[in-house]
A and B are shown apart, each in its own frame.
Chain A
């Protein structure tokens, strides 16, 4: 078999089980693709020795017939996940040199299932960004280009390295994390599938915390079936995360029938934004038509507090970040600033955090500090939490009225050029998450499915939002959409 790195998880799993290919062969193909793709800056810590060792173990397991679905499949891990003995920096200077003594629960579950870690993937610093331009490793680059224009484009963020690596076939799939859209937006920008499960589905233990009430891990894959396979391995109760749900994890793949007859799909009118590009509008309408043709009932719905999701998010997420990031003090791990003669402990904190955190992270930590400070806590933080209650209730009302899933665009535009947003104010960049952030605030599962190309040949995605804990049903609707959209475009190799 040639081009083994281009396989998806399901195809590779089936080939491994039939004995047509070995995990070592798959892994070597990916390692070569990774070495050829330094221009994408997707893999920032390569772990070929670990990969080949795990591949050999996986081959032995497959031979013995003891092979879970993920066994022997080479994947990339976002730098936000702590991986034992391997640099885990959250793309921040402040965690330079940090090698965890432990493994995150999600990456451990993948390893236990036999998945092969190829290395760590680029991302925005502490997952704060929508373009992978805040990383200490430099920008991750999308494999996609606008026609013959050689301008470098963003793979999105914060899981930009994951998106770039999967889209460019450097790995079969990758882990991502999503606090406001960080799986779904980069998936949409690069023509791949990404799902953020219900809050509490995946353990957050060992994942560097950004905003703990919003963060969830999820898979980024080449198709919906692969997302179902990988998500099942990532999910499950973990006593080490008190917010992880004690619920059985279904066989998501078995739920992919493609039959969505009689399902009620909501189209929220508030997502029709002023100035939305006509291409996105058309993609959305086409998506609704496809689901209708597959037997679903399309209904107009209202989520009246949608407009307030982003402002609420930009209070809650920075507030939680300012608290979570207080631990980076130059004492227990990571990097400490060089101190001047006579500097005391306060100077150590202040210099370490000024040198170690990038500009966007500093800004969010300080905004969070401000909204939590005495005199402003009620006006900002408590008000945002009240609005969050209302945003969640919008969804509850719609689901109570019988809606099974909600269809929206994944992003307000296609991918943009690296550096193009440099002059914009921070709020302009935040608008990237306008369609995804509501889902985090309400704790719901959301999946981005590639659905078409824009006039410049760049991928566009549609988002489906599901009921809590019903990822299986949501993935089945996504599967029906994927079948109807028939998205097969791949970026031409220029790197």
Chain B
């Protein structure tokens, strides 16, 4: 599998990272180096092997579906780059 510039651009878009057009050839080439390394996995016979879900065979702890924490609006917003009137503020989403 080889990645071309348009695939690199698509991946950057999916990852929501702006990549300038002139940086795409180098990016595609790095992807290909890494994917070339990953291709070794195709040598392994994985027939009938379950994909690992949890490294230790533990059942995840469960708890009642209730509020355990809350009423901390100030703290939640304290680190926001732009908070107004108790909300996170972002650029206009809908025209």
Contacts and interface: CB of A to CB of B under 8 A. Distances in A.
Contact of A199 (B8, B55, B91): B55
A427 B33 contact: yes
B56 A427 contact: no
Contacts of B90: 331, 345, 348
A243 B78 CA distance: 28
Given A246-B61, A331-B90, A383-B46, A373 B14 contact: yes
B40 A308 contact: yes
Most-contacted residue by chain B among A307, A311, A335, A363 (CB, 10 A): A311
A343 B33 CA distance: 34
Given A373-B11, A390-B46, A380 B17 contact: no
Given A366-B12, A386-B50, A350 B41 contact: no
A388 to B, nearest CB: 4
B56 A198 contact: yes
Interface in A225-240: 239
A128 B82 CA distance: 28
Contacts of A363: 27, 30, 34
A340 to B, nearest CB: 10
Interface string B77-95: 0111110000010111100
A18 interface: no
B contacts with A: majority SS: loop
Nearest to B51: A385
Given A331-B81, A332-B79, A392-B52, A387 B15 contact: no
Contacts of B51: 382, 385-386, 388-389
A200 B11 contact: no
Contacts of A148: none
Interface string A317-355: 000001000100111111110010001111111110110
A390 B46 CA distance: 8
Given A331-B90, A343-B91, A389-B51, A200 B38 contact: no
A468 interface: yes
B67 interface: no
B44 interface: yes
A330 B56 contact: no
B82 to A, nearest CB: 7
A480 B94 CA distance: 66
Contacts of B3: 370
B41 A332 contact: no
A239 B63 contact: yes
7 contacts: A311-B38, A333-B81, A362-B17, A380-B38, A384-B41, A390-B49, A425-B30
Given A101-B79, A336-B82, A345-B93, 19 more contacts: A100-B79, A239-B61, A239-B63, A242-B61, A245-B56, A311-B41, A334-B81, A335-B81, A345-B91, A357-B17, A365-B17, A366-B27, A384-B38, A387-B44, A388-B51, A389-B51, A392-B55, A426-B30, A427-B37
Chain A to chain B: the 9 pairs with minimum beta-carbon distance, closest first = A443-B55, A385-B51, A333-B79, A336-B81, A350-B18, A386-B46, A354-B18, A101-B75, A349-B16
Interface of A: 97-101, 198-200, 213, 239, 242-243, 245-246, 305, 307-308, 310-312, 314-315, 322, 326, 329-336, 339, 343-351, 353-354, 357, 362-363, 365-367, 369-371, 373, 379-380, 382-390, 392, 425-427, 430, 441-443, 468
